[in-house]
């Protein structure tokens, strides 16, 4: 009987040890724990897309996600359950035409923490960019004031856009939107090599035409300072027809999302426990004094 009991207790003890190890926090973001199990599941999911993914990268991704969640919370922006469900529904639809997403959903979609470890990190990245970064008037104050000043200077006389932009050191670029080609930029214009990559193509062209040009009469400038990717812009509608639309853009680059994240994450305490433990183990033991 004693031998049978010992035989049963050994695997139970091993299971208990593994369970405790898995639930052990490897990092803390504020008072939120990121456990070994969280990291291993995130890693296995991301390896569907990138087989070279490693554990350290998975830890950093989860730290970033939780940090963004706390930044959003500090700014009064809530990540609601319905947002997560909508993202989940969208992913299910997209996965039908994407073998890797399909494999992800098949292997991990039903797991209890799938939403927390895959859906939420994706969701908060976009939410933080759209609702916090882009709308942060204090962070973008310098560029915004410059472009508002330019808009005020040319609103009554849009033909002065080039002259006023040059005086203020603002870059200029001409573009055209056609149904088949979408939005393309004129490469002969003033050099904007120092600018972020300008969005182009059919999809963005349709969006830009609908949201900006169709609201701006021919020969006039946009009613407000527009956002084009990482740029703040004043747009003039030069000509519009059934087949094409031509326009001129005066633009400045905004400070980037990475700088915004770094600035806003300074008040959030991050503790990488495994890294701290590893460093502690590497530290040499103090020499023992002998008489």
Structural domains of the chain in order of their starting residue, each with its CATH number: 11-136 (no CATH), 141-254 (3.30.450)
Across 230-248, average pLDDT: 93
CA-nearest of 186, 170, 156, 158 to 246 is 186
Cβ–Cβ < 8 Å for 239, 246: yes
pLDDT at 198: 85
pLDDT at 18: 44
Cβ–Cβ < 8 Å for 237, 213: yes
Cβ–Cβ < 8 Å for 185, 200: yes
Alpha helices in the chain (DSSP H): 2-22, 36-46, 55-74, 81-95, 99-108, 114, 120-127, 141-154, 161-167, 201-211, 257-265, 273-282
CA-nearest of 172, 183, 184, 130 to 147 is 172
pLDDT at 279: 53
Residues 6+ apart with CB under 8 A from 245: 176, 177, 209, 213, 237, 239
What's the CA gap between 119 and 87, in Å, rounded? Answer: 7
Cβ–Cβ < 8 Å for 225, 145: no
Rg (CA), the chain: 27
What's the CA gap between 27 and 39, in Å, rounded? Answer: 10
Angle (CA) 256-257-259 rounded to 5° is: 70
Encode pLDDT of 188-216 as tens digits.
655 555 567 788 999 999 999 999 999 99
Across 254-259, average pLDDT: 92
**180: three-class secondary structure by DSSP:** coil
Encode pLDDT of 56-113 as tens digits.
999 999 999 999 999 999 999 999 999 999 999 999 999 999 999 999 999 999 999 9
Encode pLDDT of 5-34 as tens digits.
555 555 544 444 444 456 889 999 999 999
List, in sequence order, every residue forming a beta bridge with 25; answer none if it has no partner. Answer: 35
pLDDT at 234: 98
What's the CA gap between 194 and 172, in Å, rounded? Answer: 12
% pLDDT > 90, the chain: 74
pLDDT at 16: 47
Mean pLDDT of the chain: 88
Q: How many CB atoms lie within 10 A of CB 177?
A: 22
Instruction: Give the largest CA-CA distance in the chain.
Output: 97
pLDDT at 291: 43
């Amino acid at each position: 009987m004693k031998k049978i009991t010992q035989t049963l207790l050994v695997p139970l003890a091993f299971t208990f040890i593994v369970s405790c190890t898995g639930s052990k926090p490897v990092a803390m973001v504020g008072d939120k724990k990121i456990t070994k199990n969280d990291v291993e599941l995130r890693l296995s999911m991301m390896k569907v897309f990138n087989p070279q993914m490693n554990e350290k990268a998975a830890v950093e991704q989860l730290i970033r996600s939780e940090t963004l969640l706390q930044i959003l919370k500090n700014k009064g922006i809530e990540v609601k359950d319905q947002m997560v469900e909508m993202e989940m529904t969208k992913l299910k639809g997209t996965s039908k035409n994407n073998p890797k997403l399909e494999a992800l959903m098949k292997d991990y979609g039903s797991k209890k923490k799938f939403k927390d470890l895959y859906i939420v990190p994706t969701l908060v990245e976009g939410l933080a960019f759209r609702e916090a970064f882009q709308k942060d008037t204090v962070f973008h104050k310098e560029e915004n004031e410059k472009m508002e000043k330019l808009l005020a200077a040319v609103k009554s006389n849009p033909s002065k856009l080039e002259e006023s932009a040059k005086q203020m050191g603002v870059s200029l670029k001409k573009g055209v939107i056609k149904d088949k080609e979408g939005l393309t930029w004129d490469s002969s214009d003033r050099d904007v090599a120092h600018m972020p990559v300008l969005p182009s193509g059919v999809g963005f062209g349709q969006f830009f035409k609908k949201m900006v040009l169709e609201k701006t009469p021919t020969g006039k400038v946009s009613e407000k300072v527009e956002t084009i990717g990482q740029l703040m812009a004043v747009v003039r509608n030069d000509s519009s027809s059934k087949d094409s639309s031509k326009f001129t853009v005066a633009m400045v680059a905004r400070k980037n999302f990475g700088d915004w994240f770094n600035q806003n994450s300074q008040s959030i305490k991050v503790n990488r426990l495994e890294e701290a433990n590893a460093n502690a183990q590497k530290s040499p033991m103090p020499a023992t004094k002998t008489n």
